[in-house]
Chain A
Amino acid sequence: MLAENNGEARILAGGQSLVPMLNFRVARFKCLIDINKIDELAYIRDQGDELRIGALTRYRTIENSPLVAAHAPLLAEVTKWVGHLPIRTRGTIGGSLAHADPAGEYAAALLAMDVDVVLQNRKATRVLKIADFIHGMFTTALEPDELLVEVRIPCAKRSQVFAFDEFARRPGDLAIMGIAVRLDVEDKTINSARVVALGCENGARRIVEAEAVLIGQACDADQIEKAARATENVPAHSDIHATAALRKHLAVVLSRRALTKAMASHRGRVT
């Protein structure tokens, strides 16, 4: 159906972003294709080294999944920050990524976890790194005839710690700024780091300046401070919700908090 409608059809997954756009008439489509009855797209599977999550898996299922809690703790944590309870009942992981809202928590968290996304059309399947999938604000690598079918998340290793923090006017509202962190720590040294911000210009993005500050360094408060400071030049925009200056300030504060939390959980494991 997608292929037949030549780019004028849209997939309806959870509809928690798409239906408001339709209700406001800011988006119109010749055809909506409801995939909610395709049970084969809703699953969480443990493949040993990765978790495979079907595109139609809902936030609430992910939030309560023991598999996700055990192997993708950052996803479990971040899901609690997504929308409100009734939104999480319905919204899906695939819908969140395909919609690519710059304030979406999942894009940032999944970028920090370096996941793969699986896209499929009638003839072929392709697997993309999340960084290559999300192109910017509301734009992705999806071709008009393609459906996002699966997300593949590398299982968390023992050396990895994660954290997430965000600021919104009210819990559950769209985030003004958020930070997701993944650190690989061995013998008190940070071997690799991902610091990802959401809510910046063009959506989720890695802050490589902050990552560079952390890599190869000891995991202590000084390094956290330096890395947090390195996020203050994150490309931010001003709108009715916040000025660019506030967003940059929040990036620093939230990075400091998230990194502190990540390092505390590392210490908790060592002792």
Chain B
Amino acid sequence: MNDRRDIKVVVNGRHIFESVEPRLLLSDFLRQTLGLTGTHVGCEHGVCGACTILFDGHATRSCLMFAVQAHGHAIETIEGLAESGAIHELQQAFMKHHALQCGFCTPGMLVVAYDLLKFSPMLSSHAIREGMSAALCRCTGYWNILKAVEEVANLPERRAAADERPPEIGARPI
């Protein structure tokens, strides 16, 4: 298919109008068309998590979507989250705990961690491990990554806010 489609997307708060081939992956659109190379492409089949972005506020694999599907939606990439300060605490904790080695997986790790912490107020260590398994680190630096995320999850102000919110739905045993 050589025809192109006009799409309108909000990326990191900016309104973008572009004409794209229907077959173009969202990850390639972000990196190649928009030059937002903070979103990394690792496996291109949804396993590694390096390309994870926020799609309408939720962590999503950008390599498993087409750019045309983003028409009318809002996307936040690692660039946007860093500039807005949304992941400031996570970035600080990653630095403090040396939670990155080569850095390739880091953008995906941060986006996954951000989503985890934003929507699940009371996170056990187990829940953090399980949630962070959504991204692979080829340097196998998981231990420090988990330490960093756990530190942010346990910040006093987060704990206080969590107490006011209802517990996770579906957490009860069956």
A joins B in a complex: yes
Which residues in A have some Cβ–Cβ distance to B below 8 Å? 15-16, 19-20, 23-24, 34, 36, 60, 63-66, 68-69, 73-74, 76-77, 79-80, 84-87, 89-90, 161-163, 170-172, 261, 265
Q: Does A69 contact B169, Cβ atoms closer than 8 Å?
A: yes
Q: Does B130 contact A172, Cβ atoms closer than 8 Å?
A: yes
Q: Does A85 contact B174, Cβ atoms closer than 8 Å?
A: no
Residue among A64, A80, A86 with the highest chain B CB neighbour number at 10 A: A86
Whether A19 touches B65, Cβ cut-off 8 Å, given contacts A89-B55, A89-B58, A171-B130, is: yes
In the complex, the chain B residue whose C-beta lies closest to that of A64 is B169
**Chain A contacts of B46 at CB under 8 A?**
16, 19-20, 87
**Chain A contacts of B131 at CB under 8 A?**
85
Q: Does B64 contact A19, Cβ atoms closer than 8 Å?
A: yes
**Chain B contacts of A86 at CB under 8 A?**
49, 52, 58-61, 112, 115, 134
**Chain A contacts of B115 at CB under 8 A?**
85-86
Beta-carbon contacts under 8 Å, B58-103 to A: 58-61, 63-66, 68-69
**Chain A contacts of B49 at CB under 8 A?**
84, 86
In the complex, the chain B residue whose C-beta lies closest to that of A264 is B173
Whether A84 touches B55, Cβ cut-off 8 Å, given contacts A15-B64, A19-B46, A76-B174, is: no
Q: Does A85 contact B44, Cβ atoms closer than 8 Å?
A: no
**Chain B contacts of A85 at CB under 8 A?**
59, 112, 115-116, 131, 134
**Chain B contacts of A23 at CB under 8 A?**
25, 44-45, 63
B156 is an interface residue with CB less than 8 A from chain A: no
**Chain A contacts of B61 at CB under 8 A?**
16, 86-87, 90
**Chain A contacts of B173 at CB under 8 A?**
265
In the complex, the chain B residue whose C-beta lies closest to that of A24 is B45
Whether A84 touches B58, Cβ cut-off 8 Å, given contacts A16-B46, A19-B64, A74-B174, is: no
B172 is an interface residue with CB less than 8 A from chain A: yes
B12 is an interface residue with CB less than 8 A from chain A: no
- 22 A–B pairs (Cβ distance < 8 Å), ordered by A: A16-B61, A19-B45, A19-B65, A19-B66, A20-B46, A23-B44, A24-B45, A34-B66, A34-B68, A69-B172, A73-B174, A77-B174, A84-B49, A84-B134, A85-B112, A85-B115, A85-B116, A89-B58, A163-B174, A171-B129, A172-B134, A261-B174
**Chain A contacts of B37 at CB under 8 A?**
none
Question: Bound complex: CA of A15 vs CA of B55, how far in Å?
Answer: 14
**Chain A contacts of B60 at CB under 8 A?**
86, 89-90
**Chain B contacts of A261 at CB under 8 A?**
174
B103-123: contact bitstring with A at CB < 8 Å (1 yes, 0 no)? Answer: 000000000100110000000
Question: Bound complex: CA of A148 vs CA of B144, how far in Å?
Answer: 44
Besides A23-B45, A77-B170, 12 more A-B contacts (Cβ < 8 Å) are: A19-B46, A20-B44, A23-B44, A23-B63, A34-B69, A64-B169, A80-B170, A84-B134, A85-B116, A86-B59, A86-B61, A86-B112
**Chain A contacts of B45 at CB under 8 A?**
19-20, 23-24
B15 CB to nearest chain A CB (Å): 19
B121 CB to nearest chain A CB (Å): 13
Question: Bound complex: CA of A84 vs CA of B59, how far in Å?
Answer: 10
Contact of A90 among B64, B68, B116, B172 (CB under 8 A): B64
Question: Bound complex: CA of A161 vs CA of B173, how far in Å?
Answer: 11
Question: Bound complex: CA of A265 vs CA of B46, how far in Å?
Answer: 35
Contact of A162 among B55, B63, B174 (CB under 8 A): B174
**Chain B contacts of A79 at CB under 8 A?**
170
Q: Does A89 contact B174, Cβ atoms closer than 8 Å?
A: no
**Chain B contacts of A69 at CB under 8 A?**
169-170, 172
B12 CB to nearest chain A CB (Å): 18
Question: Bound complex: CA of A6 vs CA of B67, how far in Å?
Answer: 26
Contact of B133 among A63, A161, A171 (CB under 8 A): A171
Question: Bound complex: CA of A24 vs CA of B66, how far in Å?
Answer: 15
Beta-carbon contacts under 8 Å, B13-49 to A: 25, 44-46, 49
In the complex, the chain B residue whose C-beta lies closest to that of A268 is B173
Contact of A265 among B63, B65, B174 (CB under 8 A): B174
